[in-house]
């Protein structure tokens, strides 16, 4: 039985475009994603205020619509990426959540990051919107190996690339390893496990400038 939501897809889409300050599109296509990601990154901040205050973390569809699109708040990576996941999924795109590890001072920490992987015309694209001006703000093609050495350059002149490793996919921002992602699709069944991994983000307040 199809789940009933508080917000219809039409209402969801209208709220999303209002929140990021763009004219609403009748249909979201692959060519539109860079513009949407740029606007989203500039309009919606990454922060851990609720986690730091030990408030319950939610990420169901309607809660995120109200939190991010109606109330104008920001959130953690899994909240920002999940609201975008639902929008693109309901727009007919083959999109999946992906669990990953962040590199801090060159060392990979526990798998506390959630981002997106888009499957389009036989290719996989890494999508990241939870870092304001510090992330690509465009879909990055997952390359076959590190040796390909092909970087994407955004309009600010920053270089990024994503490539396959033996057991994961790595993302480099300006030749600095930033993320390491599991290759398999990540589902909402991992939510309970993921909440136990949030401890590193409770130690101090985090907020990324747009």
Q: What is the CATH number of the domain that holds 104?
A: 3.30.2140.20
Q: Does residue 210 sit within a domain?
A: no
CB 145 within 8 A of CB 158: no
Average pLDDT (109-126) is: 82
Percent of the chain with pLDDT over 90: 35
Which one-letter DSSP state was computed for residue 23?
Answer: P
Q: Does residue 127 sit within a domain?
A: yes
Convert the pLDDT of each residue in 141-194 to its tens digit. 876 545 556 656 666 666 666 666 555 555 544 444 444 444 445 444 444 444
CA dihedral (11, 16, 18, 19) positive or negative: positive
Average pLDDT (107-122) is: 78
Structural domain count of the chain? 1
Q: Provide the phi-psi class of 113: left if phi over 0, else alpha when psi is between -120 and 50, else beta.
A: beta
Residue 113 pLDDT level (bands cut at 50, 70, 90): confident
Strand intervals (E) in 105-174: 107-108, 113-120, 123-127, 140-143, 152-153, 159-164, 169-173
Residue (of 187, 153, 202) closest to 52 by Cα position:
202
SS3 assignment, position 107: strand
Q: Does residue 205 sit within a domain?
A: no
Answer whether residue 75 shows pLDDT above 50.
yes
Q: What is the CA radius of gyration of the chain?
A: 16
CB 52 within 8 A of CB 202: yes
Domain hosting residue 86, numbered range: 9-200
Convert the pLDDT of each residue in 31-45 to its tens digit. 999 999 999 999 999
> Which pLDDT score, from 0 to 100, does residue 69 have?
98
Q: Does residue 194 sit within a domain?
A: yes
Q: Does residue 192 sit within a domain?
A: yes
Residue (of 168, 188, 9) closest to 82 by Cα position:
188
> Which pLDDT score, from 0 to 100, does residue 39 have?
95
């Amino acid at each position: 039985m199809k789940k009933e939501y508080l917000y219809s897809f039409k209402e969801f889409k209208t709220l999303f475009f209002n929140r990021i300050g763009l004219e609403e599109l009748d249909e979201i296509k692959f060519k539109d994603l860079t513009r949407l990601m740029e606007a989203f990154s500039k309009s919606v901040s990454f922060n851990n205020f609720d986690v730091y205050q030990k408030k319950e973390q939610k990420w169901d569809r309607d809660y995120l619509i109200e939190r991010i699109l109606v109330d104008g708040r920001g959130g953690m990576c899994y909240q920002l990426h999940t609201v975008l996941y639902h929008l693109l999924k309901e727009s007919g795109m083959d999109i999946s959540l992906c669990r990953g590890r962040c590199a801090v001072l060159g060392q990979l920490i526990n798998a506390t990051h959630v981002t997106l992987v888009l499957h389009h015309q036989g290719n996989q694209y890494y999508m990241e919107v939870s870092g304001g001006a510090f992330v690509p703000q465009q879909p990055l093609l997952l390359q076959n190996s590190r040796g390909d050495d092909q970087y994407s350059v955004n309009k600010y002149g920053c270089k990024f690339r994503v490539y396959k490793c033996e057991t994961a996919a790595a993302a480099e921002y300006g030749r600095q390893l930033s993320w390491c992602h599991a290759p398999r699709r990540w589902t909402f069944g991992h939510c309970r496990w993921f909440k136990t991994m949030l401890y590193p983000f409770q130690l101090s307040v985090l907020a990324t400038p747009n």
